[in-house]
Amino acid sequence: AQSVTQLGSHVSVSEGALVLLRCNYSSSVPPYLFWYVQYPNQGLQLLLKYTTGATLVKGINGFEAEFKKSETSFHLTKPSAHMSDAAEYFCAVSDGTGRRALTFGSGTRLQVQP
């Protein structure tokens, strides 16, 4: 069984500040890990994903995440927040079989203060 824990349901940063959204996972097999973003009144969009290979993955809009197996973590970062980054972010894990697709975390709402 897989699970995802996102620490902090709400995160608030100032514009230009570092964004750090935390995600820890549990998986009995090598995981595939994902971050999705949901803007108000929209569906989710894939931000980035880790499957194999390089542990630091870059996504859209300047976001990146690092897979740390020893810490079972996949934290999302962005060096400098923009107002347009305000959204809800979901970490997700897949066992790679494709049958059940993804198990999502409970989400972190990012607020960006001017």
Q: Which of 2, 49, 66, 77 binds another protein (CB under 8 A)?
A: 49
How far apart are CB 79 and another protein at their closest, in Å? Answer: 25
Using an 8 Å Cβ cutoff, are 32 and 96 in contact? yes
How far apart are CB 66 and another protein at their closest, in Å? Answer: 18
CA distance 107 to 28: 22
Number of residues that bind another protein (CB under 8 A): 25
Q: Which of 44, 47, 65, 110 binds another protein (CB under 8 A)?
A: 44
Residue 104 makes contact with another protein by CB under 8 A = yes
Using an 8 Å Cβ cutoff, are 44 and 38 in contact? yes
Q: Which of 12, 14, 26, 45 binds another protein (CB under 8 A)?
A: 45
Q: What residues between 57 and 86 interact with another protein by CB under 8 A? A: none
